[in-house]
Structure 1
Amino acid sequence: MATVLEAMCAGSVEAFDLFYERYAPLVMHIALRVMDDRMEAEDLCHDVFLEVLRTGRRFDRSRGSIESWLAVLTRSRGLDRLRRARRAVPGGADAAIGRIAGLETAASALEDTVVLRFQQAAVREAFAALPSQQRRALATAYYREKTQREMADEWNVPLGTVKSWIRGGIANLRKQLAVRGWLSGGEGGTRHDAK
Protein backbone atom coordinates (compact mmCIF):
# COMPACT_ATOMS: atom_id res chain seq x y z
CA MET A 1 0.00 0.00 0.00
CA ALA A 2 2.97 2.34 0.44
CA THR A 3 3.40 2.24 -3.34
CA VAL A 4 -0.25 3.27 -3.73
CA LEU A 5 0.34 6.08 -1.23
CA GLU A 6 3.33 7.30 -3.25
CA ALA A 7 1.34 7.17 -6.50
CA MET A 8 -1.55 8.99 -4.82
CA CYS A 9 0.77 11.75 -3.60
CA ALA A 10 2.12 12.03 -7.15
CA GLY A 11 -1.40 12.80 -8.37
CA SER A 12 -2.85 9.43 -9.41
CA VAL A 13 -6.63 9.51 -9.11
CA GLU A 14 -6.79 5.70 -9.36
CA ALA A 15 -4.33 5.36 -6.48
CA PHE A 16 -6.36 7.80 -4.38
CA ASP A 17 -9.56 5.83 -5.08
CA LEU A 18 -7.86 2.58 -4.05
CA PHE A 19 -6.31 4.14 -0.93
CA TYR A 20 -9.59 5.79 0.08
CA GLU A 21 -11.60 2.61 -0.50
CA ARG A 22 -9.20 0.63 1.69
CA TYR A 23 -8.76 3.11 4.56
CA ALA A 24 -11.89 5.30 4.69
CA PRO A 25 -13.76 2.83 6.95
CA LEU A 26 -10.87 2.84 9.43
CA VAL A 27 -10.54 6.64 9.44
CA MET A 28 -14.30 7.16 9.70
CA HIS A 29 -14.62 4.66 12.55
CA ILE A 30 -11.95 6.45 14.58
CA ALA A 31 -13.35 9.87 13.65
CA LEU A 32 -16.82 8.87 14.88
CA ARG A 33 -15.41 7.64 18.18
CA VAL A 34 -13.39 10.81 18.73
CA MET A 35 -15.94 13.38 17.54
CA ASP A 36 -19.13 11.62 18.69
CA ASP A 37 -20.97 13.46 15.91
CA ARG A 38 -21.51 12.14 12.38
CA MET A 39 -21.11 15.47 10.54
CA GLU A 40 -18.00 16.40 12.55
CA ALA A 41 -16.58 12.93 11.90
CA GLU A 42 -17.19 13.27 8.15
CA ASP A 43 -15.44 16.66 8.16
CA LEU A 44 -12.55 15.17 10.10
CA CYS A 45 -12.32 12.23 7.69
CA HIS A 46 -12.22 14.67 4.77
CA ASP A 47 -9.49 16.72 6.45
CA VAL A 48 -7.40 13.64 7.22
CA PHE A 49 -7.44 12.47 3.60
CA LEU A 50 -6.55 15.98 2.40
CA GLU A 51 -3.63 16.01 4.81
CA VAL A 52 -2.54 12.58 3.59
CA LEU A 53 -2.57 13.93 0.03
CA ARG A 54 -0.45 16.92 1.08
CA THR A 55 1.96 15.21 3.45
CA GLY A 56 1.80 11.52 2.55
CA ARG A 57 5.33 11.57 1.21
CA ARG A 58 6.50 12.01 4.81
CA PHE A 59 5.07 8.62 5.82
CA ASP A 60 7.93 6.57 7.26
CA ARG A 61 7.35 2.84 6.97
CA SER A 62 10.08 2.16 9.54
CA ARG A 63 7.90 3.78 12.23
CA GLY A 64 4.83 1.60 11.69
CA SER A 65 2.05 0.57 9.35
CA ILE A 66 -0.16 2.84 7.28
CA GLU A 67 -3.09 1.79 9.47
CA SER A 68 -1.41 2.91 12.68
CA TRP A 69 -0.22 6.14 11.02
CA LEU A 70 -3.78 6.93 9.89
CA ALA A 71 -5.20 6.02 13.31
CA VAL A 72 -2.79 8.36 15.10
CA LEU A 73 -3.33 11.12 12.52
CA THR A 74 -7.13 10.86 12.78
CA ARG A 75 -7.13 10.84 16.56
CA SER A 76 -4.69 13.78 16.74
CA ARG A 77 -6.64 15.91 14.29
CA GLY A 78 -9.90 15.06 16.04
CA LEU A 79 -8.52 16.09 19.41
CA ASP A 80 -7.18 19.29 17.82
CA ARG A 81 -10.70 20.06 16.57
CA LEU A 82 -12.17 19.46 20.02
CA ARG A 83 -9.59 21.76 21.61
CA ARG A 84 -10.36 24.50 19.07
CA ALA A 85 -14.07 24.09 19.76
CA ARG A 86 -13.41 24.40 23.49
CA ARG A 87 -11.58 27.70 22.96
CA ALA A 88 -14.27 29.00 20.60
CA VAL A 89 -17.15 28.32 22.99
CA PRO A 90 -16.26 29.56 26.49
CA GLY A 91 -19.48 28.27 28.07
CA GLY A 92 -18.90 24.78 26.70
CA ALA A 93 -15.31 24.56 27.90
CA ASP A 94 -15.94 22.23 30.83
CA ALA A 95 -17.80 19.72 28.70
CA ALA A 96 -15.13 19.86 26.01
CA ILE A 97 -12.32 19.39 28.57
CA GLY A 98 -14.01 16.34 30.04
CA ARG A 99 -14.68 14.95 26.61
CA ILE A 100 -11.07 15.43 25.49
CA ALA A 101 -9.67 13.77 28.62
CA GLY A 102 -11.93 10.75 28.24
CA LEU A 103 -11.41 10.52 24.51
CA GLU A 104 -7.62 10.57 24.68
CA THR A 105 -7.70 7.37 26.73
CA ALA A 106 -10.49 5.78 24.69
CA ALA A 107 -8.90 6.75 21.38
CA SER A 108 -5.60 5.18 22.36
CA ALA A 109 -7.34 1.91 23.23
CA LEU A 110 -9.40 2.14 20.04
CA GLU A 111 -6.25 2.59 17.94
CA ASP A 112 -4.79 -0.56 19.44
CA THR A 113 -8.02 -2.48 18.78
CA VAL A 114 -8.31 -1.27 15.18
CA VAL A 115 -4.69 -2.07 14.38
CA LEU A 116 -5.08 -5.51 15.99
CA ARG A 117 -8.15 -6.22 13.84
CA PHE A 118 -6.27 -5.19 10.69
CA GLN A 119 -3.39 -7.47 11.73
CA GLN A 120 -5.74 -10.39 12.34
CA ALA A 121 -7.41 -9.89 8.97
CA ALA A 122 -4.00 -9.69 7.27
CA VAL A 123 -2.90 -12.95 8.90
CA ARG A 124 -6.15 -14.69 7.87
CA GLU A 125 -5.74 -13.48 4.27
CA ALA A 126 -2.06 -14.44 4.21
CA PHE A 127 -2.83 -17.88 5.64
CA ALA A 128 -5.59 -18.48 3.08
CA ALA A 129 -3.13 -17.66 0.27
CA LEU A 130 -0.76 -20.49 1.27
CA PRO A 131 -0.65 -23.74 -0.72
CA SER A 132 -3.01 -26.30 0.84
CA GLN A 133 -0.30 -28.67 2.17
CA GLN A 134 1.56 -25.83 3.89
CA ARG A 135 -1.69 -24.47 5.29
CA ARG A 136 -2.69 -27.94 6.53
CA ALA A 137 0.70 -28.58 8.16
CA LEU A 138 0.78 -25.19 9.92
CA ALA A 139 -2.83 -25.49 11.08
CA THR A 140 -2.24 -29.01 12.41
CA ALA A 141 0.91 -27.95 14.27
CA TYR A 142 -0.72 -24.84 15.72
CA TYR A 143 -4.33 -25.82 16.40
CA ARG A 144 -3.99 -29.55 17.03
CA GLU A 145 -0.54 -29.19 18.62
CA LYS A 146 0.82 -32.14 16.66
CA THR A 147 4.56 -32.64 16.31
CA GLN A 148 6.13 -32.97 12.90
CA ARG A 149 6.75 -36.68 13.59
CA GLU A 150 3.07 -37.21 14.53
CA MET A 151 1.94 -35.48 11.33
CA ALA A 152 4.31 -37.59 9.21
CA ASP A 153 3.02 -40.80 10.82
CA GLU A 154 -0.64 -39.75 10.58
CA TRP A 155 -0.36 -38.68 6.93
CA ASN A 156 2.01 -41.49 5.95
CA VAL A 157 4.61 -39.14 4.47
CA PRO A 158 8.34 -38.78 5.20
CA LEU A 159 9.28 -36.56 8.15
CA GLY A 160 11.39 -34.42 5.79
CA THR A 161 8.29 -33.65 3.72
CA VAL A 162 6.39 -32.37 6.76
CA LYS A 163 9.41 -30.31 7.81
CA SER A 164 9.56 -28.86 4.30
CA TRP A 165 5.85 -27.96 4.37
CA ILE A 166 6.24 -26.23 7.75
CA ARG A 167 9.40 -24.34 6.74
CA GLY A 168 7.91 -23.37 3.39
CA GLY A 169 4.62 -22.39 5.03
CA ILE A 170 6.31 -20.09 7.52
CA ALA A 171 8.44 -18.51 4.77
CA ASN A 172 5.38 -18.04 2.53
CA LEU A 173 3.35 -16.63 5.42
CA ARG A 174 6.09 -14.06 6.01
CA LYS A 175 6.08 -13.17 2.32
CA GLN A 176 2.30 -12.84 2.28
CA LEU A 177 2.40 -10.59 5.35
CA ALA A 178 5.14 -8.49 3.76
CA VAL A 179 2.98 -8.05 0.65
CA ARG A 180 0.15 -6.87 2.91
CA GLY A 181 2.49 -4.42 4.65
CA TRP A 182 2.82 -6.12 8.04
CA LEU A 183 6.41 -7.33 7.74
CA SER A 184 9.29 -5.82 5.85
CA GLY A 185 10.92 -7.95 3.18
CA GLY A 186 10.03 -11.32 4.67
CA GLU A 187 11.87 -10.82 7.97
CA GLY A 188 10.58 -12.62 11.02
CA GLY A 189 10.43 -9.70 13.45
CA THR A 190 7.34 -7.99 14.72
CA ARG A 191 7.80 -4.73 12.88
CA HIS A 192 4.75 -3.55 10.97
CA ASP A 193 6.31 -1.81 8.01
CA ALA A 194 4.10 -0.98 5.06
CA LYS A 195 5.31 -1.79 1.56
Structure 2
Amino acid sequence: MDGNQEDIRLMEKIKQGSQSSFELFYEKYIRFTFHIALQIVGDRTEAEDICHDVFLEVLQKSSQYKPEKGSVKAWLAVKTKSRSLDRLRKKKPLLIHKLESLDTEEEHPLDLLFIHEMERHLIIDALNHIPEKQREAIYRSYFQGETHQEIAKEMNKPLGSVKSFIRYGLKNLRKQKPLVKWVEPERGWKQQ
Protein backbone atom coordinates (compact mmCIF):
# COMPACT_ATOMS: atom_id res chain seq x y z
CA MET A 1 0.00 0.00 0.00
CA ASP A 2 1.52 3.34 -1.01
CA GLY A 3 1.74 6.27 1.41
CA ASN A 4 -1.25 8.16 0.03
CA GLN A 5 -3.48 5.07 0.14
CA GLU A 6 -2.51 4.62 3.77
CA ASP A 7 -3.24 8.31 4.43
CA ILE A 8 -6.64 8.03 2.72
CA ARG A 9 -7.44 5.02 4.92
CA LEU A 10 -6.43 7.03 8.02
CA MET A 11 -8.59 9.96 6.90
CA GLU A 12 -11.58 7.63 6.48
CA LYS A 13 -11.07 6.26 9.98
CA ILE A 14 -10.68 9.79 11.40
CA LYS A 15 -13.97 10.67 9.69
CA GLN A 16 -15.55 7.71 11.52
CA GLY A 17 -14.22 9.00 14.85
CA SER A 18 -11.12 6.83 15.35
CA GLN A 19 -8.91 8.52 17.93
CA SER A 20 -6.03 6.08 17.33
CA SER A 21 -6.07 6.86 13.58
CA PHE A 22 -5.95 10.58 14.34
CA GLU A 23 -3.00 10.03 16.69
CA LEU A 24 -1.14 8.06 14.00
CA PHE A 25 -1.88 10.78 11.45
CA TYR A 26 -0.72 13.46 13.90
CA GLU A 27 2.55 11.66 14.66
CA LYS A 28 3.20 11.13 10.97
CA TYR A 29 2.66 14.76 9.95
CA ILE A 30 3.33 17.05 12.92
CA ARG A 31 6.95 17.73 11.96
CA PHE A 32 5.98 18.27 8.33
CA THR A 33 3.30 20.86 9.18
CA PHE A 34 5.44 22.51 11.84
CA HIS A 35 8.28 22.98 9.34
CA ILE A 36 5.94 24.66 6.82
CA ALA A 37 4.39 26.94 9.45
CA LEU A 38 7.76 27.91 10.93
CA GLN A 39 9.19 28.72 7.49
CA ILE A 40 6.29 31.11 6.84
CA VAL A 41 5.72 32.80 10.20
CA GLY A 42 9.27 32.56 11.57
CA ASP A 43 8.13 32.09 15.17
CA ARG A 44 8.05 28.75 17.02
CA THR A 45 5.07 29.60 19.24
CA GLU A 46 3.04 30.89 16.29
CA ALA A 47 3.98 27.79 14.28
CA GLU A 48 2.85 25.53 17.13
CA ASP A 49 -0.48 27.38 17.33
CA ILE A 50 -0.95 27.01 13.58
CA CYS A 51 -0.26 23.26 13.77
CA HIS A 52 -2.79 22.95 16.56
CA ASP A 53 -5.40 24.72 14.44
CA VAL A 54 -4.59 22.62 11.36
CA PHE A 55 -4.86 19.29 13.20
CA LEU A 56 -8.01 20.39 14.99
CA GLU A 57 -9.50 21.14 11.59
CA VAL A 58 -8.36 17.73 10.30
CA LEU A 59 -10.10 16.11 13.25
CA GLN A 60 -13.31 18.12 12.95
CA LYS A 61 -13.52 18.50 9.16
CA SER A 62 -11.75 15.44 7.73
CA SER A 63 -14.53 15.15 5.14
CA GLN A 64 -13.09 18.25 3.40
CA TYR A 65 -10.31 16.11 1.95
CA LYS A 66 -11.12 14.90 -1.58
CA PRO A 67 -8.77 12.16 -2.93
CA GLU A 68 -9.42 13.14 -6.54
CA LYS A 69 -7.90 16.59 -5.92
CA GLY A 70 -4.49 15.33 -4.73
CA SER A 71 -2.59 13.57 -2.01
CA VAL A 72 -3.35 13.93 1.69
CA LYS A 73 0.15 15.33 2.22
CA ALA A 74 -0.39 18.04 -0.41
CA TRP A 75 -3.82 18.87 1.07
CA LEU A 76 -2.23 19.19 4.51
CA ALA A 77 0.59 21.36 3.13
CA VAL A 78 -1.88 23.72 1.46
CA LYS A 79 -4.00 23.89 4.62
CA THR A 80 -0.91 24.67 6.73
CA LYS A 81 0.35 27.31 4.31
CA SER A 82 -3.10 28.90 4.20
CA ARG A 83 -3.39 29.04 8.02
CA SER A 84 0.15 30.44 8.27
CA LEU A 85 -0.55 33.19 5.74
CA ASP A 86 -3.83 33.96 7.51
CA ARG A 87 -1.85 34.43 10.72
CA LEU A 88 0.56 36.82 9.00
CA ARG A 89 -2.29 38.76 7.42
CA LYS A 90 -3.76 39.50 10.83
CA LYS A 91 -0.60 41.30 11.83
CA LYS A 92 0.52 44.78 10.76
CA PRO A 93 0.74 45.06 6.97
CA LEU A 94 3.84 42.96 6.48
CA LEU A 95 5.27 44.09 3.17
CA ILE A 96 4.84 47.81 3.70
CA HIS A 97 6.13 47.57 7.28
CA LYS A 98 9.27 45.66 6.23
CA LEU A 99 9.96 47.87 3.22
CA GLU A 100 9.55 50.98 5.36
CA SER A 101 11.79 49.63 8.12
CA LEU A 102 14.48 48.99 5.53
CA ASP A 103 13.94 52.44 4.05
CA THR A 104 14.66 54.15 7.39
CA GLU A 105 18.24 52.86 7.36
CA GLU A 106 20.72 55.17 5.68
CA GLU A 107 22.76 52.30 4.22
CA HIS A 108 21.33 48.79 4.12
CA PRO A 109 22.29 45.42 2.67
CA LEU A 110 19.99 43.40 0.47
CA ASP A 111 17.40 41.80 2.73
CA LEU A 112 15.77 38.89 0.95
CA LEU A 113 14.17 37.43 4.08
CA PHE A 114 10.86 39.23 3.54
CA ILE A 115 10.60 37.92 -0.04
CA HIS A 116 10.28 34.38 1.27
CA GLU A 117 7.30 35.38 3.40
CA MET A 118 5.05 36.39 0.54
CA GLU A 119 4.40 35.66 -3.08
CA ARG A 120 7.14 37.17 -5.24
CA HIS A 121 4.90 37.55 -8.26
CA LEU A 122 2.47 39.70 -6.25
CA ILE A 123 5.23 42.15 -5.42
CA ILE A 124 6.55 42.25 -8.98
CA ASP A 125 3.05 42.79 -10.34
CA ALA A 126 2.44 45.65 -7.91
CA LEU A 127 5.77 47.22 -8.86
CA ASN A 128 4.78 47.12 -12.52
CA HIS A 129 1.85 49.45 -11.74
CA ILE A 130 3.82 52.33 -10.25
CA PRO A 131 5.79 55.02 -12.13
CA GLU A 132 9.02 53.83 -13.76
CA LYS A 133 11.46 55.92 -11.68
CA GLN A 134 9.80 54.83 -8.42
CA ARG A 135 9.84 51.19 -9.55
CA GLU A 136 13.53 51.40 -10.52
CA ALA A 137 14.54 53.02 -7.23
CA ILE A 138 12.61 50.49 -5.14
CA TYR A 139 13.89 47.57 -7.20
CA ARG A 140 17.52 48.72 -6.95
CA SER A 141 17.18 49.35 -3.23
CA TYR A 142 15.31 46.26 -2.07
CA PHE A 143 16.06 43.66 -4.71
CA GLN A 144 19.59 44.60 -5.75
CA GLY A 145 20.75 45.93 -2.39
CA GLU A 146 22.10 49.23 -3.67
CA THR A 147 22.50 52.15 -1.29
CA HIS A 148 20.63 55.39 -1.94
CA GLN A 149 23.90 56.99 -3.02
CA GLU A 150 24.59 54.19 -5.53
CA ILE A 151 21.06 54.49 -6.91
CA ALA A 152 21.42 58.26 -7.28
CA LYS A 153 24.67 57.78 -9.21
CA GLU A 154 23.23 55.04 -11.48
CA MET A 155 20.00 56.95 -12.15
CA ASN A 156 21.89 60.25 -12.52
CA LYS A 157 19.53 61.90 -10.01
CA PRO A 158 20.10 63.85 -6.78
CA LEU A 159 20.05 61.82 -3.56
CA GLY A 160 16.91 63.63 -2.39
CA SER A 161 15.08 62.64 -5.58
CA VAL A 162 15.98 58.98 -5.08
CA LYS A 163 14.67 59.07 -1.52
CA SER A 164 11.48 60.69 -2.81
CA PHE A 165 11.10 58.04 -5.53
CA ILE A 166 11.33 55.34 -2.88
CA ARG A 167 9.00 57.09 -0.43
CA TYR A 168 6.33 57.85 -3.05
CA GLY A 169 6.80 54.42 -4.61
CA LEU A 170 5.99 52.80 -1.26
CA LYS A 171 2.90 54.99 -0.98
CA ASN A 172 1.85 53.94 -4.47
CA LEU A 173 2.40 50.27 -3.58
CA ARG A 174 -0.07 50.73 -0.72
CA LYS A 175 -2.69 51.70 -3.30
CA GLN A 176 -2.31 48.48 -5.33
CA LYS A 177 -5.54 46.58 -4.62
CA PRO A 178 -4.13 43.03 -4.89
CA LEU A 179 -1.25 43.98 -2.58
CA VAL A 180 -3.52 45.84 -0.16
CA LYS A 181 -5.81 42.83 -0.03
CA TRP A 182 -2.83 40.58 0.69
CA VAL A 183 -1.38 42.67 3.51
CA GLU A 184 -4.57 44.17 4.97
CA PRO A 185 -7.36 41.58 4.51
CA GLU A 186 -9.31 42.54 7.59
CA ARG A 187 -10.14 45.85 5.87
CA GLY A 188 -11.17 44.22 2.61
CA TRP A 189 -11.16 46.08 -0.67
CA LYS A 190 -10.87 49.82 -0.31
CA GLN A 191 -13.41 51.91 -2.13
CA GLN A 192 -11.91 54.80 -4.05
Structure 1 length-normalised TM: 0.47
Higher relative contact order (CA 8 A, sep 6+): 1
Higher helix share: 1
Structure 2 length-normalised TM: 0.48
